[in-house]
Homo-oligomer: A and B are copies of this chain.
Amino acid sequence: MSNPVVVEVVRGDRVESTHRGAGAVVDADGRVVLAFGDAERPIYPRSAVKALQALPLIESGAADKLGLTDAEIALACASHSGAEAHVALAAGMLAKAGRDAGALECGAHWPLGEAAARALARSGGRPSALHNNCSGKHAGFVCLACAGGLDPASYVSPDHPVQRAVTETLAEVTGTPLGEENRGIDGCSIPAYAIPLGALALGFARLATGRGLPPRRARAAERIRAAVAAHPAVVAGQGRFDTEVMTILGASAFTKTGAEGVFCAALPDLGLGLAVKADDGAGRAAQVMMAALLSRFGGFGAALDRFVAPPLVNWNGVVVGALRPAGALA
């Protein structure tokens, strides 16, 4: 019932805060390499599965039909910082579909990246739906609809053909029935389906390898892997975990954050999928969990040390503590 403490926050020589969590490392045949905590309880993966939700865009031929670039495909998988480059890519995708920002149904918010938010404020601007960290995923949905001759309106609804295709793909890749009974609504208004961490890890092992996927879908997975590896700065933004880690690891790892303390990753060289969730929804905990697993299973040596045990630095630049993996992850 109670997941173990897997991350500690230390100040001085005292543990100030603790994070509990669960996770799974699985290969494409469903073999569980590691599991800790309750990896069978369904959790909302949130934005961590954007790459799986982007499969229909490629698999259907829509991306090729509209001439989407690798950077645009990477944006469809992104929780981006809302920097100018991200906004321009999203607008470009919509233009290729013959639409504009008015077609987006994600809502507007200030850029997730602090520097991007300040730059927008400094320029006297206001946030639009293009700045929403999910605008690439949503632009991808609009592209999928338009390339197929469908009206994109209400594409966030579970009953829209686009959402039905996305949900069906997510269900197949993770081997999890998805319906009204395990559905919530995400921050950007699309359905959020609850899926066990073990099933999410399996889905990412399949994304990593193409194994267990039909040929068209396996090729779509390969295209997505190449796109995100070529454009790590598109998937998140400067200074953020996914971008920094993928810049270091290149095509060896695709990592993706999700709200409420979720992280998923694909390790193509090793054929592994990873999924973790911090019980309390803390992103800082999920990052340490993911970094610890990547470090242990990825064979990346000391390259990820500053993510595994990030120091706590105060406003005068003094190191006053650190986060560190604990228990099963220590």
Q: How many residues of A contact B (CB 8 A)?
A: 53
A5 to chain B, nearest CB (A): 9
| A119 partner residues in chain B, CB cutoff 8 A | 121
A189 engages B17 (CB within 8 Å) = no
Report if A14-B194 is in contact (Cβ < 8 Å); known contacts: A121-B122, A260-B9, A281-B9.
Answer: yes
The answer to whether the Cβ of A192 comes within 8 Å of any Cβ in the partner chain is: yes
A151 to chain B, nearest CB (A): 19
| A194 partner residues in chain B, CB cutoff 8 A | 14
The proximity string for A residues 173-185 relative to B, scoring 1 for CB distances below 8 Å and 0 otherwise, is 0000000001111
A17 engages B315 (CB within 8 Å) = no
A117 to B118, CA, bound (A): 8
B314 engages A260 (CB within 8 Å) = no
| A281 partner residues in chain B, CB cutoff 8 A | 9, 16-17, 282
B185 engages A17 (CB within 8 Å) = no
A315 to chain B, nearest CB (A): 3
The answer to whether the Cβ of A27 comes within 8 Å of any Cβ in the partner chain is: no
B122 engages A185 (CB within 8 Å) = no
Partner of A122, one of B122, B184, B188: B122
Stretch of A64-72, A108-116, A267-275 with 4 or more beta carbons under 8 angstroms from chain B:
A108-116
Partner of A188, one of B12, B14, B188, B314: B314
A119 to B43, CA, bound (A): 38
The answer to whether the Cβ of A153 comes within 8 Å of any Cβ in the partner chain is: no
The answer to whether the Cβ of A242 comes within 8 Å of any Cβ in the partner chain is: no
The answer to whether the Cβ of A82 comes within 8 Å of any Cβ in the partner chain is: no
Counting chain B CB atoms within 10 Å of each CB, the highest count among A185, A194, A280 belongs to: A280
The answer to whether the Cβ of A186 comes within 8 Å of any Cβ in the partner chain is: yes
A281 to B186, CA, bound (A): 24
A289 to chain B, nearest CB (A): 13
Partner of A121, one of B118, B280, B316: B118
Partner of A320, one of B20, B118, B187: B187
The answer to whether the Cβ of A124 comes within 8 Å of any Cβ in the partner chain is: yes
The proximity string for A residues 277-301 relative to B, scoring 1 for CB distances below 8 Å and 0 otherwise, is 0111110010000000000000000
A260 engages B188 (CB within 8 Å) = no
| A132 partner residues in chain B, CB cutoff 8 A | 315
B118 engages A186 (CB within 8 Å) = no
A186 engages B17 (CB within 8 Å) = no
The proximity string for A residues 100-130 relative to B, scoring 1 for CB distances below 8 Å and 0 otherwise, is 0000011111100010011101101000000
| A118 partner residues in chain B, CB cutoff 8 A | 110, 117-118, 121
- Other than the given A12-B185, A118-B118, A189-B314, 8 more pairs (CB < 8 A) read A2-B2, A11-B184, A16-B281, A17-B281, A19-B280, A186-B320, A281-B282, A282-B282
Sampled A-B contacts (30; CB under 8 Å): A2-B2, A11-B184, A11-B185, A11-B192, A12-B192, A13-B184, A14-B42, A14-B44, A17-B261, A17-B280, A17-B281, A18-B280, A107-B315, A107-B316, A107-B317, A108-B315, A117-B117, A117-B121, A118-B121, A119-B121, A121-B121, A121-B122, A185-B318, A185-B320, A187-B314, A188-B314, A188-B315, A189-B316, A279-B280, A280-B280
